[in-house]
A and B are shown apart, each in its own frame.
Chain A
Amino acid sequence: MSWINLTALWKIVVFGLIAGAGLPALFAGGLYSLSLGPHRARAATAGADGGTDSDVLIGGSVIGIAIAVLCFLIVLAAIGWSIYEIYQIGHPAPAKK
């Protein structure tokens, strides 16, 4: 009888990092590529003249938008798949007595 399930522990740490930090990072990458292009709201230009900080998200680059969409879709797909997996694991056949 072990007091600590190391297999479960490392799985939670590794998958936790992948899903809990990796997916938001992918989302951030999507935001970044979405911002590429001519209309890009750059920190430097907006800050320099003391003008209003633009909150425009879409920079206008077609490739940038395409990559962004791809990133967002991967995030959504990963979430959907994980929820499905959890549903599968969480509903075992009732123990037969």
Chain B
Amino acid sequence: MLVLVVITALAFDFTNGFHDTGNAMATSIATKALGPRVAVAISGVLNFVGAFLSLAVAATIANGLVDTGKVTLTVVAAGLAGGIIWNLVTWLFGIPSSSSHALIGGVIGSTFAAAGGSAVLWHGLVSKVVLPAVLSPIIAALVAASGTWLLYRITRSLTSAARSHGFRIGQIGSACLVSLAHGTNDAQKTMGVITLALIVNGTVAEGSNAPIWVIVCCALAISIGTYLGGWRVIRTLGKGLVEIESPQGMAAESASAAVILLSSSFGYSLSTTHVATGSIIGTGLGKRGAEVRWNVAGRMATAWVFTLPSAALVGAGAFGIAHGVGGTVGVVVDLILLAALSAVIYWRSRGSKVDHNNVNAEWTGGAPTPEPAETAAA
């Protein structure tokens, strides 16, 4: 049973990396500072390194969200299934929703279904997840807007070609930092969940840090996922929101990296997705004459609001199924359903393929992304 949970958790970590490459690398790919393939490779390696950097977020997830005394392994597995399904659905539609909220929503949903509202630590949920989720994109946008304004102001006497040449070099550095930051925050979440499972199983004591093998496995899973790349999300972030020039790219990435790294070290499990999006919008606001596509931004915000409750519902449903069947078999049934659904989503994604070849194609409305209404319904 524990093995199954760990495998599911690593699968989630994989989809997490897959989903979130865009946060770090979208802007660099959009401004052509890095080739798409090189970008995802670097990002994968740095996610691996970042995963070792800080353990504060893992501790929040493992001990700060649900009452570890009332959670069972079935609950954790069902929560993970909720998170993965939501991640895959939003990936299909190219919406950069938060993997973190998908995971947290899933776990909370299944905990709620299993043990009722008293097993959820609401205070921890609001103060360490919900509030940071609301505040972090605003802070990131503020930092990115200030940065963008400063960069254009300081280098205004340079030719635009020289300027973009210089900042493309800078962007490589800042994009690397975002990948590192992503590792410190997102890889931690899966570590937190596996640690939670280990605590529940009695393998490690309550209040423990993640054991070393957990850190290594999570770091590997997220970097492989990152390397395979979520081209759909990269496209939405890099081309859909604002047309980005390299100084803006660097400003956005620096802002994201700074906000994520700082929050990680405080143990806030914020969404790297929300931060990256906030930063990109901020660079649009900080440059005179730049246009922010608010309809795309609005669509994302809608998906964000839906993420936590939707993943919670899926998590609760998955628990219902697993509990109804009972025991290890129940969890296996859940996993089979999960695998089948993943296969369907993968098959559907073949229809409108986004890969390293067409990731930077001109933005023409929503295509190849289907309408948001379907996402909300999904």
Contacts and interface: CB of A to CB of B under 8 A. Distances in A.
A87 B262 CA distance: 11
A43 B158 contact: yes
A55 interface: yes
B259 A16 contact: yes
Main SS class of interface, A: helix
Contacts of A67: none
Contacts of A27: 170, 250
Nearest to A19: B258
A23 to B, nearest CB: 6
A21 B143 contact: yes
Interface in B123-146: 123, 126-127, 131, 135, 139-140, 142-144, 146
B272 interface: no
Contact of B131 (A4, A28, A54): A4
A83 B124 CA distance: 26
Contacts of A85: 265
Main SS class of interface, B: helix
Nearest to A20: B258
A35 B143 contact: no
A95 B143 contact: no
Interface of B: 53-56, 123, 126-127, 131, 135, 139-140, 142-144, 146-147, 150-151, 154-167, 170, 173-174, 177, 180, 184, 205-209, 247, 250-251, 254-259, 261-266, 268
Contacts of B264: 86, 90
9 contacts: A21-B143, A24-B254, A31-B163, A41-B159, A43-B160, A56-B162, A83-B261, A94-B209, A95-B207
A57 to B, nearest CB: 5
Contacts of B160: 43, 53
A20 B282 CA distance: 12
Contacts of B161: 41, 46, 53-55
Question: Among B56, B139, B164, B166, which residue has the most Cβ atoms of chain A within 10 A?
Answer: B166
Interface string A58-97: 0000000000000000000001001101110111101101
Contact of A79 (B139, B142, B167, B177): B177
A20 B54 contact: no
A60 B220 CA distance: 46
Q: Give the size category of A's interface with B.
A: 35 or more
A21 B154 contact: no
A86 B53 contact: yes
A1 B173 CA distance: 40
A21 B150 contact: yes
B162 A15 contact: no
A41 to B, nearest CB: 5
A97 B150 contact: no
Contacts of B54: 86-87, 89-91
A43 B157 contact: yes
Contact of A1 (B123, B154, B205): B123
Contact of A86 (B167, B170, B265): B265
